[in-house]
Structure 1
Amino acid sequence: MFIPPKKSYLGYIFDCDGTLADTMPLHLRAWNYGLKAANSGLELDGHSFMSVAGMALEQTIKHWNETHSLQIDAEVVMREKNDYFKRHHEEIDPIIPVLEFARSCKASGAAVSVASGGERPDVLETLRLICMDGFFPVITTAEDVKHSKPAPDLFLLAAEKMGIAPADCLVIEDSLLGIEAADTAGMDSVLVPHPF
């Protein structure tokens, strides 16, 4: 269960998948669908999937190729994974306590943003599906930075665009790579518990 922190911050940076939206089970199924379509020989369980949660798509496949000595065709996996995800996106639900916290942060006058390792069209569509489109003035995604999580780039860019110093920001994340990125950025963070 998500427990909002008691301390107040000038800026709040929210991850999207698994934090604002309950998408991780669908993402896991989509990844496995794409990996099977590419004849990769790799099948993910919840633990192995969450160990790379927050990485950009191409970075994730590069990681698996290196750690498992594979030659997974990234183009096939990404195409099939994204197609599967889009065909089933009606299954996406909001994570209500986190959305309520985001609304209370914005109502208090604090700056709010999204920093996601996902691709911008997917992030925007997910926000639309959970009725949060247009809510966040700042959205940073994998296309905006050279290095995705666990590098701090996404969070530092979001803070810069909000005009808030990193030390005055709180990151809300569901992945350990995201928490690592927040630590490296010099930001406080809170972990959204996940069934995986």
Structure 2
Amino acid sequence: MLAGPAAGFDALLFDLDGTLIDSMPLHQRAWSQWFAGQGRPLADEAGFFAATAGRTNAEILAEYFPQHTADVHEAMADAKEALYRAEAAVQLQAIAGGLALLQTARARGLKLAVCTAAPPGNIAVAFERFGLGALVDTVTSPADGLRGKPHPDIFEAAAQRLACPPERCLVFEDAPLGVEAARRAGMRAFALTTTLDAAAFQPFSNLIGTAKDFTELDQTLLFV
């Protein structure tokens, strides 16, 4: 379903996990395996994944294991991400229509960025598997010293690097925290319902539409 007036944009900013790549099932399995290995199996997996989508590992682990130091949290995160990358290297798939949209947008002269909370190793797996480095202009993430979503930092940094005003940027997201981060950055957002259904995004005033994947996107929203 699409909503809101058509408008041209100069830059498209894409979340990675659950937006450009169908990684959320792999992340969910990795988190479930990791928590089980800690002797703390997740009692509410759906609630955990809905609440943590878009957040950094450091933020998640600090909440669940406040008794540990940042160094311990980093080691925990490395162990979880190793589980994810082992599967992603051979099983990771792209969200339908996403790569084609990147190619079309690039050919039309739009500026493109990936804005993600993913750690560098995970970003590298996706970029190598799908050739994303040849399609986007910049990548922003907490590895740049930026706060995770719902803070607007990674979207603001991308807009600055692309020399594009926030109101001329469109953010593609699959998580409410990401749509909120876009709102705080002064950007409109389009939500993919790969992780949550459309109702989860309706409260956001900056939302211009939702779709199950990029094949449902009305490109007149982008190219005028």
Q: TM-score, normalization: structure 2?
A: 0.77
Task: State the secondary structure of the residue aligned to 1:148.
Answer: coil
Q: Secondary structure at the match of 1:22?
A: coil
Runs of 4 or more consecutive aligned structure 1 residues displaced over 6 Å after TM superposition: none
Corresponding residue for residue 134 of structure 1: 134
Matched, 1:159 2:133: no
Q: Residues 132 and 146 (structure 1 numbering): CA distance in 2 closer, same or farther, change over 3 Å?
A: closer
Secondary structure, in 3 states, of the residue corresponding to 2:97?
Answer: helix
Runs of at least 5 residues in structure 1 that lack an aligned partner in the other structure: none
User: Is this contact kept in 1: 2:151–2:184, CA < 8 A?
Assistant: yes
In structure 2, the CA distance between the partners of 1:99 and 1:47, relative to structure 1 (3 Å rule), is farther
- The 2-side partners of 1:53 and 1:144 are apart by 19
Mean Cα displacement is larger for which, 184-193 or 91-100? 91-100
Q: Give the match's secondary structure for 1:39.
A: coil
Deviates more, 1:18-27 or 1:130-139: 130-139
1:79: which partner in 2?
78
Contact 2:155 2:181 in 1 (8 A): yes
Normalising by structure 1, we get a TM-score of 0.87
Question: Which shifted more, 31-40 or 72-81?
Answer: 72-81
Q: For residue 106 of structure 1, what is the amino acid of its counterpart?
A: R
Distance 1:108 1:48 in 2: 39
What is aligned with 1:124?
124
Whole-Å Cα distance in 1 between the matches of residues 110 and 166 of structure 2? Answer: 14
In structure 2, relative to structure 1, the CA distance for the partners of 1:123 and 1:15 (3 Å cut) is same
Gap change, CA 1:43 and 1:29, over 3 Å in 2: farther
> Which residue of structure 1 aligns with residue 33 of structure 2?
33
Q: 1:43 to 1:128 in 2, by over 3 A?
A: farther
Q: Distance in 1 between matches of 2:176 and 2:13?
A: 15
Deviations 1:98-144 (A, max 9, x none): 22222222111110000000112211211221232332120011111
Quick one: percent identity of the two aligned structures?
26
How many residue pairs match? The answer is 192
Hey, what does 1:190 align to over in structure 2? 190
Q: Any idea what the Cα deviations from partners look like across 1:57-76, whole Å, max 9, x if unmatched? A: 1111123346xxx8696345
Residue 33 of structure 1 contacts residue 80 of structure 1 at CA under 8 Å; is this kept in 2? Answer: no
Tell me which residue corresponds to 1:92: 92
Larger gyration radius, structure 1 or structure 2: 2
RMSD of aligned C-alpha atoms? 2.4
Distance 1:151 1:49 in 2: 18
After superposition, the Cα gap between the structure-2 partners of 1:120 and 1:6, relative to the gap in structure 1 and judged at 3 Å, is farther
Within 2, Cα distance between the matches of 1:115 and 1:106?
A: 17
Q: Report the Cα offset of residue 2 of structure 1.
A: 9.2
Aligned twin of 1:16 = 16
- Which moves more between the two structures, 16-25 or 32-41? 32-41
More displaced, 138-147 or 24-33?
138-147
Letter of the 2:151 counterpart: A
